[in-house]
Every structure is written in C-alpha cells, then in structure tokens.
C-alpha cells in the first residue's frame, strides 16, 4: 500500500476564479523520495499545503489525500493536528521566517515533542539537544537557548529540519528547503537531509525548481506546469530523455556548462512557448 | 539614544509614582487644610509650589492628586486590555461574521467621542472617579480591539504560524504561544500611550466637573479651581498643568522606550 495517495486534487483560489492545481494524482511509497519541480507559481507549494491541510480558508479544494489509507482531506482539524508533526511533517522554504522570533529555538523544537508525547522537562531538553547535535549544530546546549535572530540562515534551516525530523516521521514534505541558502550551505543541508531521511527510512516529497538538487535527493520526479503534471518518471530517465518540451527547456537552462561561450544562453521559451496544453 | 527615551520616561513616571507613594504616609501639609492667611502665596521654602486661594499647600494637594491620576490610568487601561486584546486576537484568528460584527461595533465606538460617553455615564450614574474610570476604560477598549486585530492578522500571515500548524499545534495554542508573545510589544506600547490619554481624559473630565467631587484632590479639578485667580497668580493653575504634562510625557517616552526593549530582535546576543 502506498504511504501517500493524492487522487484528482484540484485547488482554486479567489472564490474559484483561478485554478492553481489541476487534476493532480500521484502516490508515494514508504521510504520513496519524489521530486516535484516547476517554476514559481506552478502550484508546487499549494500542493504541499493541500496535503498538510494548511490551505488558507479562502481556498477551495476537491479530490482526496490519503495517508496510510486514512483520508486526510476533509478530516477534522484535531485529527489532522495529531498526524501533523508526528506522521507527516513539513520543512519550509524561508528559514528566516519559519521560526517564531519570540521563542527560543530549543522550546520550538521541544514543542513538537510536547504536542505528541508525554515527556518530562529534563528528558525533553535532553532529546532536543541530542537532535540539534544530530543536525550538525555546534554547541547545541547553547543554541537551544538562543533566539532565531541570533542564528545564521543555515543554522535556522537546521533547526527547522530538527523540528521536522524530531519524532521520526514517515513522510517529510520539503518545500524548497535549500532555495534561500547559499550554495555551500545548501550542499551541507542537502547532505544532512539525505542522511536523516535514510536513517529514519522516511519518505519525502521534495519540492524545488532546481533540477540538480532534485537529482541529488530523489529517485522519482514530477514536472509541474500551470498546476498540471506534464511529465513524470525516474529522475535519470526524465533527465536523459525528456519528452515534454517544457522539461527539455528546464534541462537545457540548467546545463549552462554545455552552452558555447559567446553564444546566447538558452531559455525555457526556446523549447516551450507556453499557451494551452 | 534608544535607551534615553526609556530612562527619561522611567524617571518621569517614577517621579509621579514616588509622589503618589510618599503621599500615602507623608505630605508637607494636610492637603485639605484651609488656612486663609496663607492664600495665594508664590513658591517659597515653606510652600515649594505656593498655595491656592484657600491657603491649601499646592504640592501636598498635587501629591495626593497623583494617586487618583495613576489609579484611573491603571484601572482604565487594564480594563481596555483585558477586554480588547482577547477580542482582537480571536477576531484576527477566526474570521467570520461574528468577528466582522465585533469590528464594526468597535468602529462605531471609535467614532463616538469618549467625552460624550463619559457625559452619558455621568448622567446615568452621577459624577464620580469610578464613573470616569469606567467611561475612559470603555472608550479605550476599541483602540485595543483594532490594534490587537491588526497585529494578529500580520502575525498570522507569517511562515512560522504555518510551521507551527504543520507540527500539529492547535489554534488555541497558536493564539497563546505564538501570536500573543508576538503582539505583546505592540500591546505594551499601546498601553503606555493609552495611559497618557487616560490621564488627559481624566484631567479633562475633572476639569469639567464630571469626575471627582470638590473634596477629592485631582489635577484637573485643581486647574479648574486655579483658573479663577489666573490674573492674580498663575501658580494654582500652572502647577497641576505641569504635573499633567510631566505624567503624559513620561508615559509616552516610556512607551517608546519599552517598544525598543521588548523587541527580541533588538536584544543583543549573550
């Protein structure tokens, strides 16, 4: 049985006037990593929020989301809250804003434990420090008492990862987890995510607009365009034999090393002009 | 520079609070003692701020008056916070027709001058400090509803709220643990600003004779009594006026200073 099953998902904003996700269906098996790529505004993040049940009240949604056979779409808020943070968790894009500025980071990580398990204060603190250590933060016992603004972007993203991995979830939805980081930190955080996902045998829906990053982390990939999946399959196959012109464009623009010096750089529009599919 | 306004504010507010505290055990003269031979004296060593037309020592009366000023301010602002902030918080998190109704009602209350509300209450319940306090407090509630609502909306739009929800935090816990601490600095600053408006309002009501009876010393009442002799000596009106100015300035500066201090982003790394 699949871990996550998304069936005919549609999401509308603006009182149904603009459709952001169109008839999206896919599934993720336990431990499987699925990449979701596409440009800004293609509906990737909205898909993630829809799975988590975090869409704003103004959004309309149809279709079903099942996690381990249980229906998440249309479930009661309390039921969803129980699953969130324990069975399925989310890593947000912006480490600068994903942490509460008024709360010490240790308490924010501890919150995940307190919400789902009985744990004494001392035991909780020990687990938090252990987790901060695991995600590669130096002086974890000092960092646990720091406020978010006292940490760098990379450190904050490690804290966000620690929150997402704390209780050993079965599915982690990572929404552009490295986009806001510089390239060296990005590589470190990806490595960490790779190791931790493997250690927990957690599945992952990895959202990105960066082909290279997706190729590093995932086995399967879906290409999303204007709310629709236009191509999907194993990463290697999609990258070597892209079928859809949009995918070909994405790959060409990512391989700048193949461009001849002095010639114009390729753009997605050279391959795919847009318009109706 | 940031510290300067906090220190000045604390000093001025401290002066008023100290005067009120000391007046509980000691004042230079009996604040109600009428001594006709000493009437309308200017400032001197024996009477630091002079005396009024009844020969009552102005400093003693100001000190006792500061108790009323502070009491009215504290009670009115607390009332406004206790009622206004939760309403604003809830209406910012749960958007529905009830929240809309609540906001429209506070808009209407905004449009109604506080003075009018006070006169209405006085007409019903009679002039007293308690009535004035209620009137000022009720008139300040919509300020806090509006402010808490707006602040809550801006906090709720932040990523860390979605992040908290993605960890399984309930709406109530989000309101208490994430939204409230984030809007607390704004509430604090607003409280200090509202405190100075409350002092002004109380002085205004007392001046109009809508708050304290003549026997209770209040700053506004003292100004009203002092203006009669304005052509003979300015002190009986000037002294309470200065006291009001000091208190208002103090709470405004304190509010500014507090805003900078309460913001954790401005705190230094230990």
What pLDDT, on the 0 to 100 scale, is given for residue A94?
83
What pLDDT, on the 0 to 100 scale, is given for residue A276?
44
Which of the four pLDDT bands, split at 50, 70 and 90, describes residue B265? low
> Nearest CA to CA, how far is A99 from chain B (Å)?
5
pLDDT in tens, A20-58: 999 999 999 999 999 999 888 888 999 999 999 888 888
pLDDT in tens, A183-219: 888 888 888 889 989 988 899 999 998 888 888 889 9
* CB–CB contact B169 A81 (8 Å): yes
Looking only at the bridges linking them, the beta strands covering A4-13 and A18-28 are antiparallel
* CB–CB contact B160 A97 (8 Å): yes
DSSP A84: B
Q: B162 to chain A: which residues are within 8 Å by CB?
A: 49, 54, 92
Please compute the mean of the pLDDT values over residues B52-81 and round it to a whole number: 91
What pLDDT, on the 0 to 100 scale, is given for residue A224?
92
Which of the four pLDDT bands, split at 50, 70 and 90, describes residue A277? very low
Please compute the mean of the pLDDT values over residues A104-132 and round it to a whole number: 92
What pLDDT, on the 0 to 100 scale, is given for residue A185?
83
Strand order in the sheet with A220-225: A88-91, A171-175, A203-208, A33-37, A220-225, A228-234
Q: A92 to chain B: which residues are within 8 Å by CB?
A: 159, 162-163, 166
pLDDT in tens, A161-170: 999 999 999 9
Which of the four pLDDT bands, split at 50, 70 and 90, describes residue B267? low
A145, closest residue in chain B (CA to CA): B270
- Give the tokens for residue A23: 């008839």
User: Of B77, B115, B87, whose CA–CA distance to B220 is shortest?
Assistant: B115
CA atoms within 13 A on the CB side of B206: 31
What pLDDT, on the 0 to 100 scale, is given for residue A100?
92
* CB–CB contact B177 A103 (8 Å): yes
Which of the four pLDDT bands, split at 50, 70 and 90, describes residue A269? confident
CA atoms within 13 A on the CB side of B262: 16
Q: Are B181 and A120 in contact (CB under 8 A)?
A: no
User: A170: left (phi > 0), else alpha (psi -120 to 50), else beta?
Assistant: alpha
Comparing A82-86, A92-96, B39-43, B74-78, the range with the smallest average pLDDT is: B39-43
A90 at interface of B, judged by CB pairs closer than 8 A:
yes
Per domain, the residue ranges of chain B are 2-23+49-266
Which of B93, B96, B163, B264 to mutate to probe the A interface, most A CBs <10 Å?
A: B163
Q: A54 to chain B: which residues are within 8 Å by CB?
A: 162, 165-166
Is A277 exposed, middle or buried, given 0-12, 13-18 or 19+ CB atoms closer than 10 A? exposed
| Sequence-distant (≥ 6) Cβ neighbours of residue A218 within 8 angstroms | A33, A34, A35, A204, A206, A235
Q: Please, what is the average pLDDT of chain B? A: 87
pTM: 0.82
Distance CA B247, CA B196 (A): 7
Which of the four pLDDT bands, split at 50, 70 and 90, describes residue B73? very high
Helix, strand, coil share (%) of chain B residues, nearest 5: 75, 0, 25
Distance CA A213, CA B115 (A): 65
Q: Is the pLDDT of residue A275 over 60?
A: no
Q: Find where tokens 């010639």 sit.
A: A263
A277 at interface of B, judged by CB pairs closer than 8 A:
no
Comparing B87-91, B93-97, B191-195, the range with the smallest average pLDDT is: B93-97
Q: Residue A262's CB: how many other CB atoms inside 10 A?
A: 5
- Output b/e per residue, B73-103; b: 16+ Cβ within 10 A: bebbbebbbebbbebbbbbbbeeeeebeebb
Q: B187 to chain A: which residues are within 8 Å by CB?
A: none
Q: Is the pLDDT of residue B97 over 90?
A: no
pLDDT in tens, B74-94: 999 999 999 999 999 999 988
Which of B95, B166, B179 to mutate to probe the A interface, most A CBs <10 Å?
A: B166
* CB–CB contact A90 B182 (8 Å): no
> Nearest CA to CA, how far is B99 from chain A (Å)?
15
What SS3 class is residue B19? helix
* CB–CB contact A103 B267 (8 Å): no
> Nearest CA to CA, how far is A176 from chain B (Å)?
14
**Residue pairs between chains A and B whose CB atoms are closer than 8 Å:** 80
Q: Is the pLDDT of residue A259 over 90?
A: no
Distance CA A63, CA A21 (A): 11
What pLDDT, on the 0 to 100 scale, is given for residue B1?
59
Which of the following CATH numbers is that of domain B2-23+49-266: 3.30.470.10, 2.60.40.3880, 3.10.20.520, 1.10.3720.10? 1.10.3720.10
- Output b/e per residue, B115-137; b: 16+ Cβ within 10 A: eebbbebbeeeebbbebbbbbbb
Q: Are B17 and B63 in contact (CB under 8 A)?
A: no
A163 at interface of B, judged by CB pairs closer than 8 A:
yes
* CB–CB contact B159 A83 (8 Å): no
Q: Please, what is the average pLDDT of chain A? A: 88
* CB–CB contact B168 A147 (8 Å): no
- Give the largest CA-CA distance in chain A: 64
CATH homologous superfamily of A4-241: P-loop containing nucleotide triphosphate hydrolases (3.40.50.300)
- What are the two backbone dihedrals, phi and then psi, of residue B150, each rounded to the nearest 5 degrees? -60, -45
Q: Is the pLDDT of residue A10 over 60?
A: yes
Distance CA A54, CA A74 (A): 12
> Nearest CA to CA, how far is A245 from chain B (Å)?
34
Which of the four pLDDT bands, split at 50, 70 and 90, describes residue A132? very high
What pLDDT, on the 0 to 100 scale, is given for residue B266?
54
In chain B, the N- to C-terminal Cα span, in Å, equals 21
B96, closest residue in chain A (CA to CA): A57
> Nearest CA to CA, how far is A84 from chain B (Å)?
5
Is A133 exposed, middle or buried, given 0-12, 13-18 or 19+ CB atoms closer than 10 A? middle
What SS3 class is residue B200? helix
* CB–CB contact B169 A146 (8 Å): no
> Nearest CA to CA, how far is A21 from chain B (Å)?
20
- Which of B160, B167, B264 is closest, CB to CB, to A112? B167
Distance CA B152, CA A216 (A): 40
């Amino acid at each position: 049985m699949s871990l996550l099953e998304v069936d005919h998902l549609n999401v509308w904003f603006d009182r149904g006037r603009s459709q952001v996700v169109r008839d999206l269906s896919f599934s993720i098996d336990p431990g499987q990593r699925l990449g979701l790529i596409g440009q800004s505004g293609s509906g990737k993040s909205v898909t993630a929020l829809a799975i988590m049940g975090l869409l704003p009240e103004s959004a309309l949604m149809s279709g079903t989301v099942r996690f381990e056979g249980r229906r998440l779409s249309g479930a009661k808020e309390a039921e969803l809250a129980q699953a969130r943070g324990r069975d399925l968790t989310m890593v947000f894009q912006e480490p600068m804003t994903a942490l509460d500025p008024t709360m010490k980071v240790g308490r924010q990580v501890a919150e995940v434990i307190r919400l789902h398990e009985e744990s004494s204060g001392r035991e909780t603190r020990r687990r938090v420090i252990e987790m901060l250590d695991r995600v590669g933060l130096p002086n974890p016992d000092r960092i646990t008492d720091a406020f978010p603004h006292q940490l760098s972007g990379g450190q904050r993203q490690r804290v966000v990862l620690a929150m997402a991995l704390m209780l050993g979830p079965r599915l982690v939805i990572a929404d552009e987890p490295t986009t806001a980081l510089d390239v060296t930190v990005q590589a470190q955080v990806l490595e960490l995510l790779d190791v931790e996902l493997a250690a927990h045998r957690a599945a992952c829906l990895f959202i990105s607009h960066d082909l290279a990053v997706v190729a590093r982390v995932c086995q399967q990939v879906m290409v999303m365009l204007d709310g629709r999946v236009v191509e999907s399959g194993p990463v290697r196959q999609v990258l070597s034999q892209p079928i859809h012109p949009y995918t070909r464009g994405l790959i060409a623009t990512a391989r700048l090393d193949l461009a001849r010096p002095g010639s114009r750089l390729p753009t997605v529009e050279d391959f795919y002009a847009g318009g109706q599919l | 520079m940031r510290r300067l306004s906090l220190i000045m504010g604390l000093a001025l507010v401290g002066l008023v609070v100290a005067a009120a505290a000391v007046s509980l055990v000691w004042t230079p003269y009996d604040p109600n003692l009428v001594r006709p031979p000493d009437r309308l004296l200017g400032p001197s060593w024996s009477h630091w701020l002079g005396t009024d037309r009844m020969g009552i020592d102005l400093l003693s009366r100001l000190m006792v008056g500061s108790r009323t000023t502070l009491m009215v301010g504290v009670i009115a602002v607390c009332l406004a916070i206790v009622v206004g902030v939760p309403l604003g918080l809830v209406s910012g998190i749960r958007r529905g027709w009830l929240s809309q109704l609540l906001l429209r009602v506070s808009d209407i209350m905004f449009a109604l001058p506080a003075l009018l509300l006070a006169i209405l209450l006085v007409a019903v319940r009679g002039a007293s400090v308690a009535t004035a306090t209620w009137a000022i407090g009720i008139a300040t509630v919509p300020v806090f509803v509006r402010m808490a609502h707006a602040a809550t909306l801006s906090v709720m739009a932040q990523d860390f709220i979605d992040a908290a929800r993605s960890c399984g935090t309930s709406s109530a816990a989000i309101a208490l643990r994430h939204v409230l601490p984030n809007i607390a600095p704004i509430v604090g600053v607003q409280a200090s600003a509202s405190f100075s408006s409350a002092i002004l309002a109380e002085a205004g009501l007392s001046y109009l004779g809508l708050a304290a009876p003549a026997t209770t010393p209040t700053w506004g009442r003292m100004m009203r009594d002092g203006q009669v002799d304005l052509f003979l000596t300015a002190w009986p009106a000037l002294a309470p006026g200065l006291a009001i100015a000091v208190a208002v300035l103090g709470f405004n500066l304190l509010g500014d200073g507090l805003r900078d201090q309460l913001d954790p982003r401005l705190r230094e790394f230990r």
